[in-house]
Structure 1
Amino acid sequence: MSEVLVAYATKMGGTKGIAEAIAARIRAASHEVTVMDAADVKSVEPYKAVVLGSALYAARWRPEAVKFLKRNAPALARKPVWLFHSGPLGAEVEPQKAPRKVRELAARIGAEQPTTFGGRVTPENAVGFLARKMAQGPMAGDHRDWDAIDLWAYKIAEHLVSAR
């Protein structure tokens, strides 16, 4: 059984990549980590802590991430939970406010509001008309800040070590 679940909801794979990097950092601190698509998680009960990330499109979280929070809210309220979203594009990624429902669910389970990481849209991974157009414009590229992601995950790992 893993100690930590890192779940994600992604459209084009960028958020999955962030989840995998977070899991790698937490594993480096000697924690057992499971990484799963949020839609595939049956229960959070076996885990001591949960990290959930969602892609952020048009100020919305992926439906499977919101369903994950709703379905698991009672169990999540009894464990440490960290939330993140990814999606802003450009050189300067500004923190993005979570959708109202996500803010409400985060408050209900006692989690802080989601941390924002830059997203990725390239011609190779663009799915859908809007994404394909964006992948051809000035916002195209990989805007994920791996150092910021690693630092955030390091802080989670440190929290988990101190909680042991």
Structure 2
Amino acid sequence: MNHGGKRIGAGRPKGQGRYGTSTKAVRVPDYLVEDIKDYSLNGGYKVPFFSSMVEAGSPSIAEDHVEEMLDMNSLLIKNPHTTFCVKVTGLSMIDAGIYEGDKLLVDSSITPVEGKIVVAALDGMLTVKRLGYIDKKPYLLPENPNFDPIPILENSEVHIWGVVTNILRSL
């Protein structure tokens, strides 16, 4: 008697399952199972993108034409392996449109250059600020006049975690 292994005629015929096509068994960590199911069932988190423009001035005639389906992952995340999310506390970046409770998408593969908003660890404390220079010396600059620029001193322990690419906020 044969036990185990591939047997001719065994198993469900291709295309007969829930998905109407052949399937493949894949091993994934338990903690990812629900996320993978959600992603699969929602078509990769795609949402309709209407070709109609929304007027921010005087109202215009509305159209009901879906131009395409936008994949929110590819729209917001260019480098999935180097992108992470952090939640903002504090008010030092309000003039840059970053408010308390916002979530920031941060990409660690982008080179932090002058003018970019970065998430940095300064002497073990995390902060979000604009990278800049004052009198040719590096600073972490707030975007709120009520806060002082933070000098990056030679003896400071500074690690730039990444560059902010998107702000996520619920209205």
Give TM-score, length-normalised by structure 1.
0.20
Higher relative contact order (CA 8 A, sep 6+): 1
TM-score when scaled to structure 2? Answer: 0.20
Name the one with the larger helix percent. 1
Q: Which has the higher strand share?
A: 2
